[in-house]
Amino acid sequence: MKKNRHIVIQSISFFTIAMLYLPLFGVAVFSVNSAKYGWVWKEFTLKWYTSLFSNEYILAAAWNTLVLAVVSTLISTLIGTLFAIGISRFPWGRKTDSFLDILLNFPVVIPDIVMAGSLVVVFALLRSVSDLFEAGLVTMIIGHITFQIAFVALVVRSRLVSIGTDIEEAARDLFASNWYLMRRIMLPLLLPGIVAGAMLAFTLSLDDFVISFFTSGPDSQTLPLYIYSAVRRGVTPQIHALSTLVVFITVILVVAAERISRKN
Amino acid sequence: MNGQPEKNLVIRDITKSFGSVTALKTVNQEVRQGEFFTLLGPSGCGKTTLLRIIAGLELPTTGSIILTGKDITSLPAAKRQVNTVFQSYALFPHLSIFENVAFGLRSRKFPEAEVQKRVAATLDLLEMGAMRDRGPDQLSGGQRQRVAIARALVNEPDILLLDEPMSALDAKLRAQVQEELRRLQRRLGTTFIMVTHDQAEALVCSDRIAVMNAGEIIQCGTPEEVYDFPRNRFVAEFLGAANLVHARRAPGGVETEIGYLKLNREPDWLEGLVAIRPEWIKVGAVKPELNGVHATIQDIVYRGTNFDLAVSPGAMRVRTNAFKNFKIGDQVWLELPPNELVVLED
Amino acid sequence: MKESSILWRGEMTTRRALTGRGMSFLSGGMLWLLGFLILPSLIFIALSFAERGVYGEVIWTFSLENYRRLAGFSSFGWTPDYLLILGRSVIVAFVTTSVAILLSYPLTFFIASRPERSRFMWLVIIIIPFWTNIVIRTYAWFFLFSPEFPFARIAAFLGLIPAGTSLYPSAFAVYVGMISDYLPFLALPLYSSVERLDWSLVEAAQDLYASRIRVFMQAILPQTAPGLTVGIILTFVPTMATFVVPDLLGGAKYMLVGNLIQQQFGASRDWPFGAAISMALMLMTLFSMRIYRRKGKKVDLL
């Protein structure tokens, strides 16, 4: 009887994993198929991949994706880290604490489409003040930072909590000044948390579609946006190749991130 | 003493409350230079709070801390010649053992040569020289404790504070470490103030013990004093086992449920408690001259080095040597020597 | 009056200095979140009571017109169209979350029972789809459901769809896409609880001859509740609001509230109405979460 249960659990698990991977696998297979249409296998080819690099729209989209992810990650990591330190290292009252807690969890639970819609409206209002808020990379970066900050701060805060107060008091007891404490103890101990937060922010940026879709302008296509609009014109092997490439990069990032976080 | 002021610590009228919770009610105490002083009490009695106030990690609500004649109440930890061994040891996980110990010297910008010399000497003192390049996570609990002690001692503090230093060690190691700590303190002559809830630890290590309860020091004295002459019921029961007998004052002694007991001095109260440790009760077959109680053995527990007997009347515990053969139901005579009977204050 | 000093983590300072320093740490994030999240949300609420001008501009008057419209009232009488879309979104989110729960328990149990060496690999297998862009994963189903592929052919053979057509747009395609897209959001948090499951309690329940359902309800569910709750939030909120999946796999036939909102900010350019739908979405999400969270467990999201 116990054995039966194992088999049931195992077969449901394999079914689920198949459901997660079958479509990605299918796309990957057809990305190296030289047949352009249909359920036929002609021959192995990498031409769809090489053609990606001569498509200037795709190259521009890839560049935009990278700029968006890197810039938003840098800014949100800085702001989020300071925010986490500010929240957990100072004696706020209970009211301030719960306010900050809500502020921190709000971006996590608000539906992305609502956040995106409200950003569209605010950018429209701000546009009357400054050209900076013209829909494009800048507005996308602002949008991404807005949801990244909270995630970075949550990761860094949990690291701060796990460091505890003893270490800090011990350093003080051993005559450390503010600066020395920061440089010699807090920063090195926080660093793994900051790196983990930054990696999370970076992946969140690559993973996002909705915020980008709402806040982008005509010259700020990213890869997910490009794929989305291309699909509506019909599927092509080139899109298979591009999708497979993005999945491949995701796999590398995930494995690297897991390796690093397991080391700590 | 050679014109040098004694580096003693005076705790004067210290109180501490956290919001509406009172952690310490008026503590007055002196700690002499070079002694091993222990704050002993159950958890929540305020002993750790008092230690943190001495360390400069907590401000008292009122009162002052005076070290070598100087009021240090408003100085933070970094400005006191006092260092702490934390309960968790709080070693810096990313620094090597050497750098952990060197931290206090480096943060005061000591010259490199002196840092090297003093850290090496302190590590050798604690027999940790071979571990200098390891990380804290590569050490055993006992080794970590030594590093924590070395890290504090390298600064040559006037007072070393130890917050429950044995709590992270297993029971077998504790007994050994207690003795080592005692020896270290004797050798260095530095004042040690230790906080513990373990009475055996306090008795082994200390020159003097202050027994604390509910934010107050109840009794302070040498281990012998507090063990043999507890002031009240709390101290008697907290330090080891004690037989407590309800008594009424009578000429030259007290009248109790187990009969008249002669005492060395008459108690101040009309009714109260007298105490006697199980090991001071003598057991025999013949009626003793003084303070004899005829009793029946109700239960016998063999403890290796001795027997514990439960006897009636009075539901008393008696500890006796192993070579006497008793059976349950035996009739015996107990002798409660007046010298060992303690009149409690409550 | 001299301010009294306090000792804070071994540092002698005053409460005011500490508050000042703390504020300087907080200021960046606070200003950012207030400026680009809280304030926009408030404007959004106000906007839902405004009106659309002829050219798609916003006319700032107070009116309940948007909400009336959402409830189905218009100059042509009452239609249930919008309410149907709202209701459908709740049902889709509810079904998706429920199926994800049913599939995630066996999956997480399976991973937790793997030997420690290979467990990490199995875990990565769930983490990868979690981090793969949803457009790509939805696109992959879109591709697999096209007419020439076996899925559509089998369906056509069984007479479920006309021969030579694709499996989308259909409710079936939407559900498959939704469940596979959002399942990792449930499985990952759930796994963190399953990994820490105390099996002795489960065995004790089995020793007492409890039925399987009772073993689950009384020994497994309470222990995995924290991870499950986080998982439900992470799944339910985005499935309620999604528009990529129904857009690619559902088409106009199977519109969800996400598509409706997107339309208002896209082709229709009716921001006040879009804001009103968003408010309805938020309310429905919060209300649904209430039902899930009735047990009142406090949840840390990370």
Per residue in C171-183, pLDDT (tens digit) is 999 999 999 999 9
Q: Is residue C246 part of a domain?
A: yes
Instruction: Take residue B14 and report the two structure tokens written for it.
Output: 């210290």
Instruction: State the virtual CA torsion across C249, C255, C257, C258 in degrees, nearest 10.
Output: 40
Which residue type sits at C35?
G
Instruction: Take residue A50 and report the two structure tokens written for it.
Output: 């090489």
Structure confidence by residue, pLDDT tens digits, B204-235:
999 999 999 999 999 999 999 999 999 999 99
Query: Can you give the pLDDT at residue B5?
Result: 62
Instruction: Take residue B100 and report the two structure tokens written for it.
Output: 């952990």
Which residue type sits at A134?
E
State the SS3 of A205-234. HHHCCHHHHHHCCCCCCCHHHHHHHHHCCC
Report the distance separating Cα A6 and Cα C109, nearest Å.
10
Query: What are the backbone dihedrals phi and psi of residue A241, each rounded to the nearest 5 degrees, phi first?
Result: -65, -45
Residue ranges covered by each domain of chain A: 32-263
List subunits contacting chain C, requiring 3 or more Cβ pairs under 8 Å. Answer: A, B
Structure confidence by residue, pLDDT tens digits, B158-211:
999 999 999 989 888 998 999 999 999 999 999 999 999 999 999 999 999 999
| Mean pLDDT for chain A overall | 91
Query: Is A153's CB within 8 Å of C124's CB?
Result: no
pLDDT category of residue C297 using cuts at 50, 70 and 90: very low
More confident residue, B79 or B312: B79
CA-based nearest distance A257→chain C, Å: 11
Neighbours of B308 (CB within 10 A): 16
pLDDT category of residue C291 using cuts at 50, 70 and 90: low
- The answer to whether C278 and A117 are in contact (CB under 8 A) is yes
Which residue of chain B has the CA closest to A175? B78
Q: Identify the CATH homologous superfamily for domain A32-263.
A: MetI-like (1.10.3720.10)
- The answer to whether A204 and A15 are in contact (CB under 8 A) is no
Residues C44-53: what's their mean pLDDT? 93
- Sequential DSSP letters for chain A: -HHHHHHHHHHHHHHHHHHHHHHHHHHHHHHTBS--SSS----B--HHHHHHTT-HHHHHHHHHHHHHHHHHHHHHHHHHHHHHHHHHSS---HHHHHHHHHHHHHHHHS-HHHHHHHHHHHHHHHHTT-GGGSTTHHHHHHHHHHHHHHHHHHHHHHHHHHH-SHHHHHHHHTT--HHHHIIIIIHHHHHHHHHHHHHHHHHHHHH--HHHHHH--TT---HHHHHHHHHTT---HHHHHHHHHHHHHHHHHHHHHHHHHHH-
Residue with tokens 């921190």: A104
Q: Is residue C30 part of a domain?
A: no
- The answer to whether B198 and B209 are in contact (CB under 8 A) is no
Query: In this structure, are strands B36-40 and B191-196 parallel, antiparallel, or unpaired?
Result: parallel
Instruction: Take residue B133 and report the two structure tokens written for it.
Output: 């390049």
Which residue of chain B has the CA closest to A183? B107
Instruction: Take residue B233 and report the two structure tokens written for it.
Output: 């019921």
pLDDT category of residue C26 using cuts at 50, 70 and 90: very high
Q: Pick the residue of A162, A175, A191 with the most B CBs within 10 A to test the interface with B by mutation.
A: A175
Report the distance separating Cα A51 and Cα A39, nearest Å.
22
Residues B59-63: what's their mean pLDDT? 95
Query: Can you give the pLDDT at residue A1?
Result: 44
- The answer to whether C191 and C108 are in contact (CB under 8 A) is yes
- The answer to whether C182 and C235 are in contact (CB under 8 A) is yes
Out of C5, C10, C11, the one facing B74 most closely (by C-beta) is: C5
Structure confidence by residue, pLDDT tens digits, B256-309:
888 899 998 888 899 999 999 988 888 888 888 889 888 898 888 888 778 888
Which residue of chain B has the CA closest to A186? B92
- Sequential DSSP letters for chain C: -PPPEEEETTEEEEHHHHHHHHHHHHHHHHHHHIIIIIHHHHHHHHHTTSEE-TTS-EE-----HHHHHHTTEETTEE--HHHHHHHHHHHHHHHHHHHHHHHHHHHHHHHHTS-HHHHHHHHHHHHHHHHS-HHHHHHHHHHHTSTTSHHHHHHHHTTSS-TT--S-SSHHHHHHHHHHHHHHHHHHHHHHHHHT--HHHHHHHHHTT--HHHHIIIIIHHHHHHHHHHHHHHHHHHHHH--HHIIIIIGGGG--HHHHHHHHHTTT--HHHHHHHHHHHHHHHHHHHHHHGGG-------
pLDDT category of residue B126 using cuts at 50, 70 and 90: very high
pLDDT category of residue C293 using cuts at 50, 70 and 90: low
Strand partners, B115: none
Which residue type sits at C142?
F
- The answer to whether A71 and A146 are in contact (CB under 8 A) is no
Query: Is A176's CB within 8 Å of B151's CB?
Result: no
Structure confidence by residue, pLDDT tens digits, B68-105:
999 999 999 999 999 999 999 999 999 999 999 999 99
DSSP one-letter code for B5: P
Query: Can you give the pLDDT at residue B231?
Result: 93
CA-based nearest distance A20→chain C, Å: 6
- The answer to whether A137 and A67 are in contact (CB under 8 A) is yes
Percentage of chain B exceeding pLDDT 70: 98
Query: Is B77's CB within 8 Å of A169's CB?
Result: yes
Sketch out chain B's domains with CATH numbers: 9-234 (3.40.50.300), 241-343 (2.40.50.140)
Q: Is C1's pLDDT higher than 50? A: no
More confident residue, A186 or C218: A186
Instruction: Please report, for residues B88, B275, C266, the alpha-carbon distance to residue B92 in angstroms, rounded to integers and kept in the order given.
Output: 11, 48, 55
More confident residue, C110 or A264: C110
Q: Is C302's pLDDT higher than 50? A: no
Return all residues near B342 (Cβ < 8 A) that are at least 6 apart.
Answer: B228, B229, B230, B236, B274, B275, B276
**A29-33, B3-7, B135-139, C56-60: lowest mean pLDDT where?**
B3-7
What are the start-end ranges of the E strands in chain B? 9-18, 21-31, 36-40, 62-67, 70-71, 82-85, 159-163, 191-196, 208-213, 216-221, 243-250, 253-256, 259-262, 271-276, 282-284, 292-302, 306-312, 316-321, 331-335, 342-343
Residue with tokens 């051993």: A174
Query: Can you give the pLDDT at residue B125?
Result: 94
Determine the Cα angle at A156 with ends A152 and A162, to 5°: 155
Domain that residue C161 falls in:
95-254
Query: Can you give the pLDDT at residue C301?
Result: 39
Determine the Cα angle at B303 with ends B298 and B309, to 5°: 20
CB pairs under 8 A between A and C: 255
Structure confidence by residue, pLDDT tens digits, A49-99:
999 999 999 999 999 999 999 999 999 999 999 999 999 999 898 999 999
Query: Is B104's CB within 8 Å of A175's CB?
Result: yes
Query: Can you give the pLDDT at residue B178?
Result: 93
Q: Is residue C33 part of a domain?
A: no
- The answer to whether A143 and A219 are in contact (CB under 8 A) is no
Structure confidence by residue, pLDDT tens digits, A107-161:
888 899 999 999 999 999 999 998 889 989 999 999 999 999 999 999 999 999 9
User: What's C201's domain CATH number?
Assistant: 1.10.3720.10
Report the distance separating Cα B53 and Cα B31, nearest Å.
14
Report the distance separating Cα A166 and Cα C9, nearest Å.
8
Instruction: Identify the contact set of chain C against chain B, taking CB-CB distances under 8 A.
Output: 5-7, 10-12
Q: Any chain A CB within 8 A of the CB of C213?
A: no
Q: Give the ipTM of the model, two decimals please.
A: 0.90
Query: Can you give the pLDDT at residue C295?
Result: 44
Strand partners, B71: B66
pLDDT category of residue C296 using cuts at 50, 70 and 90: very low
- Sequential DSSP letters for B288-315: -SSSEEEEEEEEEEE-SSEEEEEEETTT
Query: Can you give the pLDDT at residue C299?
Result: 42
Q: Any chain A CB within 8 A of the CB of C166?
A: no
Out of B57, B78, B90, the one facing A167 most closely (by C-beta) is: B90
Give the CB-side neighbour count of residue B232, counting CA atoms within 13 A. Answer: 10
Please compute Rg for chain A using Cα positions: 23
pTM score of the predicted model: 0.87
- Highest mean pLDDT, choosing among A146-150, A203-207, A248-252, B238-242: A146-150
Query: Can you give the pLDDT at residue B322?
Result: 58
The number of folded domains in chain C is 1
Neighbours of A25 (CB within 10 A): 15
What residues in B contact A174, CB-CB < 8 Å? Answer: 78, 83, 103-104, 107, 151-152, 155
What residues in B contact A169, CB-CB < 8 Å? Answer: 57, 77, 84, 86, 90
pLDDT category of residue C300 using cuts at 50, 70 and 90: very low
Query: Can you give the pLDDT at residue A13?
Result: 95
Q: Is residue C201 part of a domain?
A: yes
